[in-house]
Amino acid sequence: MKNTNWYAVFTASRAEKRVKERLEQAGIENYLPVRAVEFVRDGQKRRLEIPVITGCIFVRVSEVNLPSVLSIWGVIALLQEKQVPVVISDEQLESFKILNERAETLEIVNEGLPVGSAIRVLQGELAGVRGELIEVAGGQRVVVRIPYLIECVARVKV
């Protein structure tokens, strides 16, 4: 899309899926990262898809169309730094998508992690991910950072 960027918007509590539906009805490209979780309730095993980042959905629009996103019922605010919308690069979001969809385990970290070597995964289930390689407790992990929002960590084999 021409002159569009990815932005993170915050939603009302537990409204992520409804906001996604409304954005789609309005023709706004969006991405709601979800993960399947299994739990036992009333003695039965159940599976549920929950948002990876609670209260957040990503939208791809031009800057002039941001007010139309903010007018969607359930959208609370836009991720900003110093009152300027934070642009999330295509590469960051694509790497985050790959981690979310392919990594067996995914850990969302809110505190800063040590900066390591820039890497690109060439093969395996995480092929295409660009991030930073860090060592944690002797294991290899790759980190994808979305500034001001999250850091995603997935374990990788070297």
pLDDT of residue 39: 86
DSSP three-state, residue 23: helix
Measured distance CA(91)–CA(134) in Å, rounded: 19
pTM > 0.85: no
pLDDT of residue 139: 62
**End-to-end Cα separation, the chain, in angstroms:** 35
Give pLDDT tens digits for 46-77.
999 999 999 999 999 999 999 999 999 999 99
**pLDDT for position 127:** 78
Q: Which pLDDT score is estimated for 26?
A: 97
Weakly modelled stretches of the chain, pLDDT under 70 = 1-2, 110-115, 117, 122-123, 133-140, 155-158
Q: Are 9 and 75 in contact (CB under 8 A)?
A: yes
pLDDT at 30: 98
Collapsing DSSP to helix, strand or coil, 11 comes out as strand
